[in-house]
Amino acid sequence: MTRQQQAAQALKALHQRPGGFILPNAWDPGSALILAAAGFDAIGTTSAGIAFSLGKQDYRVSDPRLGVTRQEMFDRCSQIIEAVALPVSGDLEAGYGDRPEDVADCVLQAVEIGLAGCNIEDKPVGEERLYEPRQAAERIAVARQALMARSSDLVINARTDAWLVGEGDPLAASIRRANLYLEAGADCVFLPGVTDLPTARTLVREIAGPVNLVLGLGGSSGNAHELLAAGVRRISVGGSLARAALGFVRRSAELLRDSGSVAFTDGEISGPDLNTLFAVTRAAA
């Protein structure tokens, strides 16, 4: 069995584990190594964090030149996979193409580079709409069929942005889409925009498969442990760690500019500690 197959099986098993799991999101090898050293069982990538680390835009891209290319995204995912021994799930946006065949090609490349899983969104890049439900489900189904044809496995986390884009009653739309995606071959469904316990419980009850929610998308509301206790199987944090890190950089830069102070170093990890952490954690990979 290859390392990728082992990682895919390990990631899939986490979705069935009582109590669920937290999947923090890294944007480069350094952040991935720190998350691995913190003791998490798997790591996700963040398209937002990767975009921002490249000085580019994410999600609502104003100019195609400012978007992250598929190759750039896979290159960074490969670097993260190489750095850590944990299963890595890649944020692959909408699969880099409208056609189901594009998504199929995307997931096959994900397997080739060693990803254990991936997110596939139902919102076309650069548009404020969602794919029609059956069209979005077909994209998942063709991707799953392509994996099966090669006897490959990959945890497909089908994301619906019904809460973010707005589609009538977002709760009803999310439940309908989630169940369609699971029937099409998704292993888990991802519903950004929900952080409250009552809605989470409804989703868990009405969706016939593992539910992934994200915290930190629009603020600090919600608690990962409480949501997992309510039946949510997977909690991620998207680009929130990356945004928080960049917020710290900006505040520190302004402090240095305005006062000359380097008080921002008070909470830093020392160079020797980072050297040790990276050496030990990379050795495990």
Residue 250 covered by a domain: no
Residue 265 covered by a domain: no
Q: How far is CA 178 from the centre of its chain?
A: 17
Residue 258 covered by a domain: no
| DSSP label of 65 | G
Residue 70 covered by a domain: yes
Residue 74 covered by a domain: yes
Q: How far is CA 5 from the centre of its chain?
A: 19
Which pLDDT value is given to residue 266? 95
Residue (of 34, 130, 47, 10) closest to 84 by Cα position: 34
Residue 256 covered by a domain: no
In this predicted structure, the answer to whether residue 243 has a pLDDT above a threshold of 90 is yes
Count of domains observed in the chain: 1
Which pLDDT value is given to residue 64? 86
Rounded-to-integer distance, Cα 141 and Cα 47, Å: 23
Burial string for 125-158 (b: 16+ CB within 10 Å, else e) reads beeeebbebeebbbbbbbbbebbeeeebbbbbbb
- By CB atoms closer than 10 A (0-12, 13-18, 19+), residue 63 is exposed
Residue 266 covered by a domain: no
Where does the pLDDT of residue 284 fall: very low under 50, low under 70, confident under 90, or very high at 90 and above?
confident
Residue 277 covered by a domain: no
pLDDT tens per residue, range 9-30: 999 999 999 999 999 999 999 9
pLDDT tens per residue, range 156-184: 999 999 999 977 899 999 999 999 999 99
Identify the CATH number of the domain in which residue 78 sits: 3.20.20.60
Calculate what percentage of the chain has a pLDDT beyond 70: 100
- State the pTM of this model: 0.96
Residue (of 47, 122, 34) closest to 83 by Cα position: 34
Domain region containing 167: 3-244
